[in-house]
Chains A and B, each alone.
Chain A
Amino acid sequence: MATTSSWVAHASREPNAGMIRALHEWIDDSVRLAAATPGSCPFLADAVFAGIVAHTDRALHKRRQRPTFLSSHPCGLQSLAAHGLRPMCDVIDHDEFGPEELLVEHTGGTSTLAEAIASAAGADMSAFVPVFTESEFMDADLFHLHNAQLLNPRHGGVVIPFMIVPVGDSEQETQDREDIVRAMGFTSYTFECDWDDFTLEDHTRLALLMEDVLDEIVQIKSDAEARLLSRPPLWPLVEMRASPGEGFR
């Protein structure tokens, strides 16, 4: 696997070509190894999930944060087996704080977004990355727990939600979804690509999107720290457009 020096990895806002190549290889390796191994984790076996893991991990590693990923899908790994190392530990040489384990929680029937918000609203100042489908987000029984206003911008942790949405929705359906997302205290950042042919350019676009998302979160945190927030902020939520089967396998 291609690796990059710790001096170079996060030297610029956008990841350099070496980092993009390394991310691409990590995702490929993750999916291929999972396919060859009976019993695995959706975060390692699925290209969409593995892409989320790799890119979110890069953006948070750069900011000295360690994410916990949450999925409602069952994990095929043995109960005592860990999920391996976080991607940046494979990609970056000689990281001062490595190696670190990849943190993944499988919530079973519970909403990943609700779990993430509850954790971040509590004493944990870390980053939580729930991945869920649109129908999970809209679940009437849990909808009230998906409100970003439950988060504390100054003293709480951070939630970076990824919602898998269908490709080919009409303009009206998209608009309706945006309105609901906004009503729940989020603002959406949309990413779409051909998941069967995830190119280096797609990686660059996703990395840039993650920079925008993290910059927005940092801005919210800064404003809260400076007591400049006059109303509850709109937290970023990433909409990943994927065909049925992608992101659900």
Chain B
Amino acid sequence: MKTPISSWVTHAGREPAEVVVNAMDEWWRNTRTPRAAEVPCHWRRDALHSLVLVHVDRAAHKRRHQPTFVSAAPCDSPGEDHGLTPMSAIVRDDTYGPQPVRIVHANPESAVGRAITMVRGEEGTLAVALATETEFDDADFFDAHRASLVNPLRDGVALAIIHAELQGPEAAHQVMEREDLLRAAGYAAYTIDLDGDDDDHTVHRHLAGLLEDVFDEVAGIKADAAARVLSSTPLWPALVIRTFPLWRQRHSALTAHAAELPLKRSR
């Protein structure tokens, strides 16, 4: 990492400044050196997981929250030590010092189900679940994935991130089906495409902007709940990341799919 950024300027604007985007990109690239294959945890080794890790960590850091990242697959990190958060390397002179990254491997539970369990009764907690679309749609776990299980007033925030691994463009009805399913589970989809056409810098800017929208929506739900003006169960934002073969190929193809383990039911 080149010179870390001053804690005074890291979160100066709503969306990260150029210098912050560059630092995030550098962190992300450094996690995927040739030695990355030896790293025991896919949150460090895999392009998609590490992309989610650095972006959500930035958005949460700005909001004084410490996220816990949840995925189903186990890892071999000794003693559950996953090192420091990306922002610990990107920001210098942070008042609260370097922070250990919090990662939970939920298998045999589903990631989204575990994240929801984690935030119940813990209003300040942020749990971020990265799951494949197959995992999210799994009929055995679907009830545990319902956003209505989260009370906007008393519970924390479970951010569901769904990876849709596509082989090519989707038809409109396929997109609608996904969004309908998410809506039925209590989520509103915020979608980003990693198709390989955009350069990485553009992807970083789009993803950072989208996460600002997601967390603004979370704050809106929380504010409405606190003001007792929620007339119905809210639709919590869920991030849908659609990856395409070109992007996966360019980024070593080690995606959430490769890291995925079969869950309890199919074992």
Contact = CB atoms under 8 A, between A and B. Distances in A.
A96 B12 contact: no
B123 A10 contact: no
A6 B64 contact: yes
Contact of A63 (B11, B157, B218): B11
B216 interface: yes
Contacts of A7: 63, 157, 218-219, 222-223
B223 A221 contact: no
A93 B11 CA distance: 22
Contact of B123 (A5, A66, A222): A5
Nearest to A215: B12
B94 interface: yes
B124 A125 contact: no
A65 B7 contact: yes
Interface string A132-171: 0000000000000000000000100010000000000000
B64 A97 contact: yes
Main secondary structure of the interface of B (DSSP, over half): loop
B8 A218 contact: yes
A225 interface: yes
B226 A5 contact: yes
Contact of A11 (B5, B7, B219): B219
B96 A218 contact: no
Interface in B220-257: 220, 222-223, 226-227
A102 to B, nearest CB: 15
Given A96-B65, A96-B124, A221-B6, A125 B93 contact: yes
A4 interface: yes
B66 interface: yes
B22 to A, nearest CB: 12
B216 A11 contact: yes
A123 B195 CA distance: 46
A11 B12 contact: no
Contacts of B94: 64
A89 to B, nearest CB: 12
A137 to B, nearest CB: 25
A4 B226 contact: yes
Contacts of A199: none
A25 B143 CA distance: 43
B178 to A, nearest CB: 27
B181 interface: no
B95 A65 contact: yes
Contacts of B12: 218-219, 222
Nearest to A221: B8
Interface of A: 4-8, 10-11, 16, 18, 61, 63-66, 93-97, 125-126, 154, 158, 217-219, 221-222, 225-226
5 contacts: A7-B223, A11-B216, A96-B66, A218-B12, A225-B19
Given A5-B222, A8-B223, 7 more contacts: A5-B223, A10-B64, A18-B227, A64-B7, A96-B65, A125-B7, A222-B12
